[in-house]
Structure formats: C-alpha cells, structure tokens
Amino acid sequence: MKKIKFNISFLLIIALTVSGLRCTKLETKVYSQIINDNFWKTPAEIAAGKIPAYAALQSLAGGNSGVYWEHEISSDEMITPTRGGDWGDGGNWTNIWYHTETPDAGNIGGAWQTIYDGVGKCNFIIYTLTHLDPAPSTLDVDVAEMEVLRSYFYYHALDLFGNIPYVTNFKQDPTTVATVPRAQVFDSLVSVLKKDLPLLSTAHDLTTYGKINKYVAQCILAKLYLNAEVYTGTPKWTECIEQCQSIQDAGFTLMSNYYDNFKDGSAQESSTENIFVVPYKAGIVPSWGGNYINVSSIMANNAAYTFLQLGMGNNGMSTTTAFYKFYDTTAVYETRVVDGNTNAYKTFNDQRTGQFLKGQQYVKGITYPPHQDILYKSSNTSPVGLGGAGEAGALMIYDDQSQLPLSYFDTMNLISNPAPYFRLAGLRNIKYWPDAGGNVGDNISNDVPLFRFSDILLMKAEAELRAGIDLDDALENVNMVRRRAYSGSTAYDWTSGQLTLDNLYAERAREMAWEMVRRQDMIRFGHFLEARTIPTKPADDADKHTYLLPIPSSVILSNPNIAQNPGY
C-alpha cells in the first residue's frame, strides 16, 4: 500500500501539465496533439492520466484548505482565536467563526478555487478520454469514475455555496456559464451518480484504496439525500436509508480502535471502516503542507515533547467548552510509580474523548491510542522547555514563548487576547496521531478519511428516526457506534427513549469531530444560527443568508452571468 501511495505522489507531476477549469474564467490551455497521441494508450497510462483529478483532493482535505476551514471554523467545533500577534490576519479567522465573511475573504476564494480546480481536472480528463481514437475498452468505467469524483467536488460547492455554475463540458463557451439553482444542481448530481453506479467497482480493498468505487458514489448520494430538505426544500429520508443500507450490506465494519482510522500505517490502510480517503506521504504528497491542519497546526510550541515529534506546531486551531461538553469525560484513574516518580494516569471510558488535549502536558504523556494511560499529574515537576530541553528526566512541559506550564484549557471569554496565558486557550485535537521521532514538519503521512462507515450508520439512524421508519434498526446502528466508542461495552447502549434528534446531534459531534461535516450538521439540525458564548458569537440574521457562503467577488466580476447569493 505504501507503494500505491508513493506512485500517486510521484505522478503529481502530471498535475502540473493539466490546467484546472476554473469557472471564474473558464480558460482552456492548448495542448499539443502529440501528447495525447503518445500517451493515454495503455491501461497504466490511462490510470496515470486520471491522477491529477485525485491530486486535487489533497488541496481540499488538507493544507491551507479554504474548503476545510469553511466547514469547520464556521461551526461550534473549531475556533482559531487570535493569541497575541498570532492568527490575527485581518480578521480572516474570526470572521469565519462570526459568520461575517465578505465575498472578498481569502478563504472564500480559496474554497471556490479548490473546488473548481478539481471540477476542471475531472472535465479535462473526461474530455480527453471521450476523444481518444480508438476508444479504450474501459471508456465507460473510466468516465464514470471521473464523473463521480467530479460530483464529489460539486457536492462541496452545492453544500457551501448553493446556487453555482454547473459545468460538465471542458469546451463549454465561457460566456454561456451561469448560476444554476441549487435544487437543479442537486438533481443533476443525483442523476449522474445513479447513472454511473452500475459501472463502478464493488471492491473495497487495497485495489480501490483512495479511489472511486460504487460505495463512494453511494456515500455522496446518501449525503445529498440526507440534506435534501436543506438543498431543495423536499426531504429524501427513504432514499438516504436505501443508499446507507446498500453500503451496510457490502460488508463494511467498524474498527475496534477508533483511532486506527486516522493513524498512518497498516491499520489505517487496512481499515474496514474507511470508505474513501485522501492519501498523503510525508515530504512527498503534497510538498507544500499536506494535511497539517489535522495535527501540526493544533499544537502549541513544545508540544513536540509530548509526542517526540520535531518541526511542528503553530498553535492555531482548537475547540472550546461548549463543544467539549458533548464528550463523556468519565475515566478510570490509576496511580503508578515510574522511574521514581509518582504518576497519575487516566483512561477515558469513551475512546473518542481522548482526541482532545486538555490540562498539563508531559513528556511522552500521551501514548497511542490517546484515550488510555494519559499522564495528567506527576510528582516530577522539573520543567521541559523554557528555551532548552530541561534537566535529564524532566517531565513537565513549558511553553517557550509564554514561559508558562503547557496546560491547555477550554474556556475562552474572548476570541482575541494578547495575554501570555491565552496562548494555551483551546483544546488541541490529536485525532490524526503524529508518529513519534520524525522531523516531517507540516508534512505528515496520515491519510484523511472523507467517508467512514460509522457516519453511514449514524446517517441511516437519523433518516430512519426522521421518517419514523424501523426505529429498532436505528437504535441498533447508533449502539454499534457507541459500543465501539466504549471498547465493546454494552453498558452505554441507548434505550429507545434516548433515540432523539438532540442525542443524535450530540453523538455526531463526538464521532465526527473535525471531519468536515459539522457545519452541515448544525444547519440540518437547526443550530447553525444560534448565538454562542465563550467566546460570544451573536445570533445570525433572521434571513438565514449565512447558510450559504458568498460567491467570491472575483468570480462575479469576471462573469456577470454568475449571481451573488442573497444577503451579500
């Protein structure tokens, strides 16, 4: 599997030869006919030719991804406060949290460009494939694969921007590109996905790892149907249930260790739960930052001592009290003498609670998996940090800049504070486990799941509850997720009376944190416009215009046929 990942990264060079079709200008670059005549001949060359479309996912799921930021920071689960002079950036991050971004915002433009670069690469490859002479024997399958991948990019455009240009022809005249109503885009995506389903591979193993197969198409359909009432005004609960059931029948199962879905290595690559992932490889894929949002940027200075990881940490994204309250923080406590130190350890009952760093951090105080044997107190208070490595055997980590013990806290009364202690405000997420001993900086090798089976189970349960269909099945699906969270114990199973929308909303918070679904969930459950406290975010305008992001100003200026979303 490592070889597969390396080959994918190596072929990123091909991406440099393919121009993304941006709907801001819809420019096309002229390519020599010799390129197509000398390439696209063998199955291996066709497979390589499709790589740029997959490479576009790396900008969506990681790096400085506007798509990721918009999904996450606009919700209640992620915040990027201004700590002293860090992360001010002209209000770039606080405006996402407050839902006050304008069409000129950098992350808005970045999200749009990322999505339409992916769309453009898919359209170029589809155009190339359909104009090969002779046509390859796998033409229909190859085109279906690219159409489904394109649909994934459009799914994010539909979700974030609503009414959008929907372009499927690489040669479409730019002057004819116009805004398409959200409901019409929804119908088009559903039609394409249903058409392509019978053509796609039904394998879900290393041969389809990180690639489009039938189940990826069904995941996109399930997500569209789950949010259909938001997108179109008409609910599609039974259709969502049908797609989720088909995925469930395919034999996906939950991993016993929640974190094996996110930790680089054989466990992640052989996950029976991950349905679709974006592969990364430190120093190779991609070279400009990788998926550092998931690990590196959520640690303060000297958190490297916690994981023996070098070259990482810029103290950005975190979470607050309100979101952390969703988690079960009950734990089993134990005191042990280690190397002459009296150490106190805890193991959370719910595996998922361990994804957040809270309290004082110690050298190697967190081990894998991060929910168990957490060192949270020690008789050894010798400092590590403070401009150096500290004395031999020291455990208690200090922050270099503030000179304070590295102790994270979740309460934020302000979103901006220059006080030294505020560098430690917000809980850091370690869901994507950093391998110890490396010096990879922001380039880490954790692959990023885009669809997981646990999400499918919770989606199905929600649709069944909302439709009033097969509530026993809904309860069992939720309890499957909860039993895994509690390491197989049935003691935390819900009763039928606990199967409510409010409880499902909280369960999704625990299970799916930082996986680009929370904004969507908050809108669907009716919580997105609510005021937030600590730090304060006023209630949004009654017109609900912030359900959609503004179309970037550059797009509107370059094409008068593209209309701005209401309220902007």
Burial classification of residue 541, based on how many CB atoms lie within 10 Å of its CB (0-12 exposed, 13-18 middle, 19 or more buried): exposed
Torsions phi, psi of 427, nearest 5? -85, 135
Higher local confidence (pLDDT), 78 or 386: 78
118: Cα separation from own chain's centroid: 16
Contacts of 451 (CB under 8 A, 6+ apart): 215, 216, 219, 274, 275, 276
Contacts of 388 (CB under 8 A, 6+ apart): none
User: For residues 504 and 452, what is the distance between their CA atoms, to the nearest angstrom?
Assistant: 17
Contact between 80 and 318 (Cβ < 8 Å): yes
Instruction: Report the residue count for the chain.
Output: 568
User: For residues 51 and 15, what is the distance between their CA atoms, to the nearest angstrom?
Assistant: 7
Q: What is the mean pLDDT of residues 545-555?
A: 97
Alpha carbons within 13 angstroms on the beta-carbon side of residue 474 total: 26
Nearest Cα neighbor of 263 from 333, 347, 348, 366 is 366
Give CA separation, 54 vs 153, 211, 280, in Å.
11, 8, 12
Q: What is the mean pLDDT of residues 496-509?
A: 98
The one-character DSSP state at 516 is S
Q: What is the mean pLDDT of residues 294-303?
A: 45
User: What is the model's pLDDT at position 12?
Assistant: 33
Q: How do residues 405-460 score in pLDDT, each as one tens digit?
A: 989 999 999 999 999 999 999 998 888 887 655 555 556 778 899 999 999 999 99
User: What is the model's pLDDT at position 25?
Assistant: 35
Buried b (16+ CB within 10 A) or exposed e, 166-185: bbbebebebeebebbebbeb
Q: What's the pLDDT band for 298 if we cut at 50, 70, 90?
A: very low
Strands 341-348 and 416-417, sheet pairing: unpaired
User: For residues 484 and 494, what is the distance between their CA atoms, to the nearest angstrom?
Assistant: 13
- Structure pTM? 0.92
User: For residues 196 and 188, what is the distance between their CA atoms, to the nearest angstrom?
Assistant: 12
User: What is the model's pLDDT at position 280?
Assistant: 84
Residue in the block written with tokens 């114990």: 489
